[in-house]
Structure 1
């Protein structure tokens, strides 16, 4: 629990794809987040996702992105992956991302509210290798 370490008045730190930072003892890498075949998140906007290093555990939060080449070398223990399509990768693409990254655990996100549905969750689960653990958040999270 790091909540006690976060000062009440925080400074913002500007980041860009490719940066590596450490804040309050937490190391993280800044990964690009963009669409390949959609107009919603252009690569030249320099929007980002993060690989957070928590001890020996790597957690990847990609933000709003498609399946992009930069994911290949991440190799996270846990990957949060958007599956809703429309603004991000769809369920099949997210499963492909998990496979390419060799993620051990995945948390599907960005479905069931604004875009995507529970059907996307089922497609995602059925498209993954059996050794990948799927962790789901309660509805509305």
Structure 2
């Protein structure tokens, strides 16, 4: 399982001959727009910093609706949630995407704006890898993100959607989230591979470079 973080909520997930790009952004966000060809693009919601699939090259399957989807032996489940803590009144809905490979479950929370309810926890189920926003303002902040990690009990946690030297949004830094965890791995590159042995861990936090 290989993951590459392009910044914000955009990841390239590569496994089993399938490539997925999540929540592509445009250049106004502050990061370099990914120059990749992929099989699948998912968009958690239709805001400019998450839906710039038009800037990508090649042909791909675009998924931006909740429900069941599939590609080869990959099952994708979109779970409807909210972009805020007021049932969508401020910023609308958000889709959590669950990528179910035969041997891995990867969950991308998009711009989740609230702690999950029990039904949502059951729909998402326990992931091997949890890609979670932690920067607050537009999503859950560090404290709420910690609660979501406790709800879903992933093996590996990868924080996203936080302030860096590139981004132009008023977000909190990743350090505000990391202080809640003891097993933190700061990586030297934006790409990293995960092997089967990580499935014996609980909430190991990986922080890719950008």
**TM-score for both structures, normalised by structure 2:** 0.54
How many aligned residue pairs are there? 132
- Shift of residue 13, structure 1, vs aligned partner: 4.7
For each residue in 1:41-72, what CA deviation from the matched residue of structure 2 results, as whole angstroms up to 9, or x when unmatched? 324xxx31200012221110010012221542
Higher helix share: 1
Q: For the residues of structure 2 that align with 1:36 and 1:110, how far apart are their CA atoms? A: 17
Q: Answer whether contact 1:83 1:110 (CA < 8 A) is retained.
A: yes
Distance 1:28 1:123, change over 3 A: same
1:136 to 2:207 alignment: yes
What is aligned with 1:30?
78
The RMSD of aligned alpha carbons is 2.8
2:12 corresponding residue in structure 1: none
Cα distance change of structure 1 residues 33 and 41 upon mapping to structure 2, 3 Å threshold: farther
Q: CA deviation at 1:39?
A: 4.9
Q: TM-score, normalised by structure 1?
A: 0.77
* Residue equivalent to 2:59: 9
Structure 2 portions without partners, runs of 5+: 1-16, 20-36, 41-57, 185-200
**Post-superposition offset of 1:83:** 0.6
Q: Distance in 1 between matches of 2:90 and 2:180?
A: 22
Residue aligning to 2:92:
42
Whichever structure has more strand as a proportion of its residues is 2
Distance 1:105 1:80 in 2: 9
Q: Aligned in 2, Cα 1:27/1:93: closer, same or farther, shift over 3 Å?
A: same
Q: 1:71 to 1:107 in 2, by over 3 A?
A: farther
Partner of 1:59: 106
Q: Which of 57, 65, 68 in structure 2 is aligned with 1:20?
A: 68
Q: CA deviation at 1:23?
A: 1.8
> 3-state DSSP class of the match of 1:33?
strand
Does the C-alpha gap of structure 1 residues 13 and 112 become closer, same or farther in structure 2, counting only changes over 3 Å?
closer
Residue 99 of structure 1 corresponds to 150
Aligned mates of 1:40, 1:24 — CA distance in 2: 37
Distance, in Å, in 1 between the alignment partners of 2:180 and 2:85 is 20
